[in-house]
Structure 1
């Protein structure tokens, strides 16, 4: 018998277990829409955000008309998915952290947690899924509240990293996947599955020779055969863990399958691949393209976006999802170095989703090619009327131009970094 029922928000009391709301999760301050109500302020917040009807689960909490329990049981409290916690405060100041500082802190804490899980896996222990769920929730909360700050933090972390690990790559793909998933309006359960799948999608490499993933030259034919086993090996690692959602296992097992049937390990086509897998695989592909991999130098972010567009047109990736990626990342993603029609050199520091070719930029070199003592920020969508109209000519390679991009991107976030 179904234990859920829909009730008016006015009937909601402490002790009831919320199983759903009448608003999408991303429009409320609550990261998940399933938790035991233990604080009257939760009800106030729900009303304040326009919630009129809630779904309760009478097996996991009180029914309408029941007397409130004096104390919630430990078992229920342990399994509840609580509303997003408040930002921690420090004794020195009551000021909330800046978006940049908050993003940096969440990124750092998440990275530390992910690295611990991967160290356990490398030591032969099964992955601790329960330790990764809070990581996904914290990242999601920050992405929803400050998406641009998280994207800048992603760029800074990537620019400063000389050698990537499986944990680094999993973290990168997780952040990108969740950003795409928010834009794609995925459900909260899909979000959690995508986040967990992204973090662990390459754990199969721990069952392969240690130097294979970090090899800096092209793979031999034999190494290619080994490398293509990692999705299935990942599934075998997950088989050691109780109650891993089938959705998560499927995302990991399928993440190298392509719509046109050219992927691996099973060469399946579009209809046999989960839509969630396709979304995560797109984030994985972008991160691979902008990272040195098996002797191939990284592409510029703009070129990586163009490559995804071409592959989408050819049928490897879902065109609709590619369009979502371009909308979120931009034609010239955050951190891109660009040449302007005025001969100035600038870096992209913000996106204009209504006009992807006119982002917000920071001018680093003037028309004479000399470095600016004081970089100037311009919104190409709303340019000063007393200056020449600027437009982007092309993307530039920071290495060729000898420009330290993190130095200038740091300014966009107030100097906070991981």
Structure 2
């Protein structure tokens, strides 16, 4: 470990070691190239508080930090807690949530000296903004629009055999979620991670969508999902991002990038305590700022994922922007938002809209889609993307319960392209004499006069609430 001598740093220098504050917070990683802007930001910080080190353990051995022992879910911190990779995941007074507990299992540290001052924190945040600005120079060279129909991904005309029942779908989603949970934990901890691990999850999804395109969205919406599970939400967002990209007739590689963006776009939320992510009370200015800063922190965290395409960082940064300029962090309008971010934003909103919340039961997928269609008409979302979502999940979305003209109640299981209002359904509550419990019916193969959907309805014991929040 050695103190920073700012006089010896020149623009263009590549750091051989990571740059840390005395509180264990990593400002720049080994291999970072120092630009004029980064150098200016560093000069504003007290040089006596900055050190080069191979790892945070060096600062511990220098008695600047102490390992934090016994970090448990539910306890409140009395000081900022820093991860083994040098990120502040829990600020003083935060309540430890399950994700943070898993992150701190890899290592947790707290400073031994004076607490970080408000001025030092502001300077650190300014440096993170400068890191994003360095990426923006690269993003300026990336294409924003993805053309449709140029060598589109090849999908099976009919779903191939092998797709399972609801229990199988839930099991596949749970397995995929756990695979990503391990990746998410290490990314939030600031531990170097290979993009191949995330790619393996996406490649599995790509194979499934190509073989069974009409039933594929079940992986996002069928069965019960967990309240505020960031890993599960990321997985379901990836599923829907791929489904939307396929309906937009993007190429195989573009659909893969869409899925990877959906999977990784909200890693910065891992730095936000669960109580802020889920609270119903009004947030104060400091809390709002923490939420609004998470896209920038996603970019910083994803710097630790080797070989990640730059477009994914760009889309992660932009996926909370909105067509009409009402989003954040930069109030960008549609013409300045990449299509990958637009797809992730719609997929994210639909997954969030159908997720159970502490203050209400889960909403029906039908109501969540209707709300997004309305918001698209009002200019908040790109209507092309909303249309592609509807084509993927159906006008009566997969997972919805519907009443048929026979009187039976059925659950929507899949939708074929071009037959959005006539999906595949499974009878769950036979009422008519001819209804058979569990029978799967492809309405697209029947004449509307023979059997059709009358309305969306409540499922037996589904817990869905019809009201739109």
TM-score > 0.5, shorter chain as reference: yes
1:145 has 2:222 as partner: no
The alpha-carbon distance between structure 1 residues 221 and 392, as it changes in their structure 2 partners (threshold 3 A), is: farther
Which has the higher mean CA deviation after the structures are superposed, 285-294 or 122-131? 122-131
Q: Does 1:357 align with 2:421?
A: yes
What residue is the counterpart of 2:404 in the other structure?
340
TM-score, normalised with respect to structure 2: 0.59
In the TM superposition, what is the alpha-carbon distance from 1:356 to its structure 2 partner?
1.9
In structure 2, list runs of 5 or more residues that go unmatched.
1-149, 465-469
Pair 1:132–1:352, CA change in 2 (3 A): closer
Query: Does 2:457 correspond to 1:391?
Result: no
Change (3 A) 1:190 1:294: farther
Contact map agreement 1:144 1:182 (CA 8 A) in 2: no
Question: 1:37-79 CA deviation, whole Å, 9 max, x = no partner?
Answer: xxxxxxxxxxxxxxxxxxxxxxxxxxxxxxxxxxxxxxxxxxx
Deviates more, 1:100-109 or 1:343-352: 100-109
Question: 1:174 Cα shift?
Answer: 0.4
* Closer/same/farther in 2, CA of residues 130 and 404 from structure 1, 3 Å limit: same
1:117 to 183, 192, 199: 183
2:441 to 371, 378, 382: 378
Q: Deviation per CA, 1:88-142: give whole Å up to 9, x if none.
A: xxxxxxxx98233997776455333211111213434244323111221221112
Q: Is the 8 A contact 1:235 1:249 kept in 2?
A: yes
Q: 1:180 to 1:167 in 2, by over 3 A?
A: same
Please name the residue that 2:328 is paired with. 264
1:152-301 superposed matches below 5 A: 152-156=218-222, 159-213=223-277, 215=278, 217-222=280-285, 223-293=287-357, 295=359, 297-301=361-365
> Matched residue pairs, number?
309
**Residue 328 and residue 309 in structure 1: after superposition, are their counterparts in 2 closer, same or farther (change >3 A)?**
same
Structure 2 counterpart of 1:408: none
CA distance in 2, matches of 1:117, 1:28: 29
Supply the distance in 2 between the matched residues of 1:242 and 1:342 (Cα, whole angstroms).
Answer: 56
Q: Structure 1, residues 330-372: CA drift from partner, whole Å, max 9, x if none?
A: 001122111234433221223243332222222333346x996
Do the aligned partners of residues 216 and 294 (structure 1) sit closer, same or farther apart at CA in structure 2, a change above 3 Å counting?
A: farther
- TM-score (normalised: structure 1): 0.65
1:402 corresponds to which of 456, 461, 464: 461
- Residues in 2 aligned to 1:348 and 1:98: alpha-carbon distance in whole angstroms: 18
Equivalent residue number for residue 202 of structure 2: 136
User: What secondary structure, in the 3-state scheme, does the structure 2 residue paired with 1:142 have?
Assistant: helix
> Aligned partners of 2:343, 2:242: CA distance in 1, in Å?
10
Structure 1, unmatched stretches of 5+, are 1-22, 30-95, 406-418
Judged with a 3 Å threshold, the aligned counterparts in structure 2 of structure 1 residues 195 and 127 are, in CA distance, closer, same or farther, namely farther
Whether the 8 Å CA contact 1:341–1:392 is kept in 2: the answer is yes
Distance across 1 between alignment mates of 2:212 and 2:416: 15
- Whole-angstrom distance in 1 between the partners of 2:397 and 2:462: 17
Match of 2:467 in 1: none
Query: Structure 1's 257 and 151: CA in aligned 2 closer, same or farther, altered over 3 A?
Result: same
Deviation at 1:324, TM superposition (A): 1.3
Question: Residue 374 of structure 1: SS of its match in structure 2?
Answer: coil
Q: Is 1:319 matched with 2:380?
A: no
Give the CA RMSD over aligned residues.
Answer: 3.2
Match of 1:3 in 2: none
Question: How many Å apart are 1:270 and its aligned residue?
Answer: 0.9
**Aligned residues of 1:218 and 1:296 also touching (Cα < 8 A):** no
